[in-house]
Structure 1
Amino acid sequence: MTIAPQCVVTLHYVLVDAAGQVLDDSRARQQPLEYLHGHHNIVAGLERALDGQAKGAELTVTLMPAEAYGLRNEALKREVGRDAFPVPELSPGMRFQTPGDDGPQIVTVLEVRDDSVLIDTNHPLAGQTLRYELEVLTVREATRAELAKGHPLPPDTDHTQVEDKKLL
């Protein structure tokens, strides 16, 4: 079976920046990535590169910023009230996950002022050229429940119960 929309794919990856620094390694964490192909679970450029691949495929993919986490947008830097943060002590470089219009987003603290905080809501990898070293471990058809949810479900999930609840 080859990777196509509506398939659940499991893979190992190493993510490297343009300077050659390893940013993430699924093997080191002993946790492969599982995603639902065609449902925007991973960056668009990576999904395009994996389309048509099969179990056992090994490939290296270099993505320009627009194909990965986007270009940096200076308009995404802004000042917010200090009371917007759940912790009393803040320092530059701290990151928080907050709800966003398109799902959760990461907010990076740039500067802490007396009554406000300068933040950056660009993705931390925005503007970077990234290299992925990939190994496709498995490819399978997604269940109806996974398609309804838009992502793979844990292995111990009773897919029929999930589907029945959706019908209620």
Structure 2
Amino acid sequence: MTASTNPPGLTVGENTVVTVEFWISSTDGEALDDSGGPVSFLHRGHDSLLPRLDDGLEGQEPGFEQTFHLEPADAFGDYDTDLLRVEERSRFPEPLEVGMRFEGVPGQGDGDGPVVTVADDDDEPDENALIFVVTDLTEDKVVLDANHPFAGMALRVRIKLLAVRPADPEEIEQGYADEEDESDEVLDAMIEIRRQSDTLH
């Protein structure tokens, strides 16, 4: 949907689907990530942005553009050392590489075998599971981190509002927008952080 198809006078608010582009950078201007093109979501829905960004979009019309400064508490949270783990490499499948993702909490099962599973983007995540990323390897040890890569960082997020439309009744009921062929890892990460944390207000 493009800005030209917006109902006249419609602004971002309850029961609207919002289309934006956004760019994330560090406070010193280093580009970290972006939306990779337009992404759409139900405003304040399950697929929405961080609450601080939702607040900034409230009441705005297409064409609105602004850069928001987010402290860690408003972004991806503080870095949690409890989410950093060192495990025996023998508990993991081979081949093993830095960047591989595992679901669960390694090292808390019975027996000698691995107690984590390879995270598959096509699988529904376990609500109680965390995603651990392999950050370092030695011959016998594996370092895993379940913190978001931007945890503990203050960020600047530039948002350009492209379109606003009324949400369909089905979208309101399910809590997220139905937008085909739109898949964005950064937006997915924001959604995951909202699901796992109660600190983002």
TM-score bracket for the superposition, by shorter chain length: 0.7 to 0.9
Shift of 1:108: 2.4
Shift of 1:75: 0.9
Contact 2:44–2:51 (CA<8 Å) still a contact in 1?
no
Provide the residue aligned with 2:60 in structure 1.
53
Gaps of 5+ in 2: 1-9, 104-124, 182-201
Contact 2:65–2:159 (CA<8 Å) still a contact in 1?
yes
Provide the residue aligned with 1:140 in structure 2.
165
Contact 1:106–1:124 (CA<8 Å) still a contact in 2?
no
Provide the residue aligned with 1:101 in structure 2.
127
CA gap of 1:152–1:84, structure 2 versus 1, over 3 A, is: farther
Contact 2:40–2:179 (CA<8 Å) still a contact in 1?
no
**2:133 aligns to what SS in structure 1?**
strand
Provide the residue aligned with 2:44 in structure 1.
38
Provide the residue aligned with 1:159 in structure 2.
none
Shift of 1:102: 6.2
Tell me, yes or no, if structure 1 residue 19 matches structure 2 residue 44.
no
How far, CA to CA, are the matches of 2:56 and 2:49 in structure 1? 11
More strand by share: 1
**Aligned counterpart in structure 1 of residue 135 of structure 2, from 101, 110, 122:** 110
Contact 1:70–1:127 (CA<8 Å) still a contact in 2?
yes
Q: Deviations over 1:18-49 (max 9, x none)?
A: 221112234xx3x2121111124211211111
User: Which of the pair has the greater relative contact order for Cα pairs under 8 Å at 6+ separation?
Assistant: 2
How far, CA to CA, are the matches of 2:38 and 2:93 in structure 1? 32
User: What is the identity, as a one-letter code, of the residue corresponding to 2:164?
Assistant: V
**Aligned counterpart in structure 2 of residue 123 of structure 1, from 109, 123, 148:** 148
Please, what is the CA RMSD of the aligned residues?
A: 2.5
**Aligned counterpart in structure 1 of residue 72 of structure 2, from 48, 54, 65:** 65
CA gap of 1:151–1:122, structure 2 versus 1, over 3 A, is: same
Give the fraction of aligned pairs with identical amino acids, expressed as a percent: 34
CA gap of 1:97–1:142, structure 2 versus 1, over 3 A, is: farther
How far, CA to CA, are the matches of 1:9 and 1:131 in structure 2? 20
**Aligned counterpart in structure 2 of residue 151 of structure 1, from 169, 173, 176:** 176
How far, CA to CA, are the matches of 1:87 and 1:74 in structure 2? 26
Gaps of 5+ in 1: 157-168
